[in-house]
Amino acid sequence: IASQSMEGRRVSLKEIAEEIDSPVAFTAKILQQLSKNQIVDSVKGATGGFEIQRSSIDRIKLSEIVYAIDGDNVYMACGLGLEKCNASKPCPVHNKFVQIREDLRDMLENTSLYEMTVGLEVGLTYLKR
Amino acid sequence: IASQSMEGRRVSLKEIAEEIDSPVAFTAKILQQLSKNQIVDSVKGATGGFEIQRSSIDRIKLSEIVYAIDGDNVYMACGLGLEKCNASKPCPVHNKFVQIREDLRDMLENTSLYEMTVGLEVGLTYLKR
DNA sequence: TTTAAATCGGACATATCTGTCCTAATAAAA
DNA sequence: TTTTATTAGGACAGATATGTCCGATTTAAA
């Protein structure tokens, strides 16, 4: 969507699903989540589809996309799966996991949608299931 | 198990399940996996139970426990969930994920069972669901 | 005004993961 | 030798995640 939006083209659900080899109905659900969370703009009706404002492409970080789809689970869930695990009652791997997750958070917050889009366009990365 | 084994006590499934607030039948399945993968030793029959040799407690790293239960999935699975993603056809986050996973691998391979056991014993960490 | 092409959203179906139950096998103790 | 306390393992049940279907809504074009 970002790639096409940068060239002023709005893309339909069908086109998106086809491009990434993903079931249409399933892709639709994910796009709805992204739309609700204002990652992408959706336009209903004939000639409708999905697009992203150029300013958003520059601004949006991977962290925001992750949050739109998975919430803050990535940052909060215990490495051993314990429900009660937290800083004051840490599980045996808690503190070591906190460290790794900080690395992950840094990465997500410093990876922009623009950067990923460029990678796809120059053929450096791929996006097929 | 490690904690009790260090003091020469073998522990039963029941005791283990109770100690960590985990369903007995469910805990049994996990112990079976650990036993099959030689992380713990199981002894059948009356007075049986689970134990770990002192030498194993020193030797075993968290990475081996993770591998026994989840295989190499942690290191291989694509960050975006793509099946075909690998070094020669990388997804847009592939290389950044490789980095994070190296950090994770380092942590798992450098965290010993002994270290975790001590943390529990001195009351620094907890192990309840 | 009608039609067609598109997204939206709720209900449903399927697959996978998590957890349970029950019987068999084992081994110590009575 | 029988009983009892234990682990092993297969079959099943339930919960959650993944994926599908279909009708409602929207909007541009005929």
Kindly report the average pLDDT of chain B as a whole number. 94
The reported pLDDT for the residue numbered B70 is 87
Q: Does A91 touch chain B (CB under 8 A)?
A: yes
The reported pLDDT for the residue numbered B74 is 85
| Residue B107 predicted with pLDDT over 90 | yes
| Residue A58 predicted with pLDDT over 90 | yes
The reported pLDDT for the residue numbered A81 is 85
The reported pLDDT for the residue numbered B90 is 94
Residue that the structure tokens 């990388």 belong to:
B90
The phi and psi torsions of A76 (rounded to 5 degrees) equal -100, -35
Read off the pLDDT of residues B63-74 as tens digits, 9 standing for 90 and up: 999 999 888 888
Q: Which nucleotide is nearest to A70 (CA to C1')?
A: D17
| Residue B75 predicted with pLDDT over 90 | no
Collapsed DSSP state (helix, strand, coil) of residue A67: helix
The reported pLDDT for the residue numbered B103 is 94
Least confident range from A43-47, A70-74, A122-126: namely A70-74
Burial of B76 (0-12, 13-18, 19+ CB in 10 A): exposed
| CA atom of A61 to C1′ atom of C10, Å | 31
Residue B111 — pLDDT band, cuts 50, 70, 90? Answer: very high
pLDDT mean over A105-109: 95
Residues 52-81 of A with CB under 8 A from B: 62, 80-81
pLDDT mean over B85-96: 93
> What six digits make up the tokens of B13?
């499934």
H/E element, B18? helix B13-19
**Stated length of chain A:** 129
**Stated length of chain B:** 129
Kindly report the average pLDDT of chain A as a whole number. 94
The reported pLDDT for the residue numbered A20 is 93
| Residue A77 predicted with pLDDT over 90 | no
CA distance A22 to chain B (A): 10
Read off the pLDDT of residues A9-43 as tens digits, 9 standing for 90 and up: 999 999 999 999 999 999 999 999 999 999 999 99
Q: Which of A96, A58, A55 is nearest to A78 (CA)?
A: A96
Cα A22 off chain centre by: 16
The reported pLDDT for the residue numbered A76 is 86
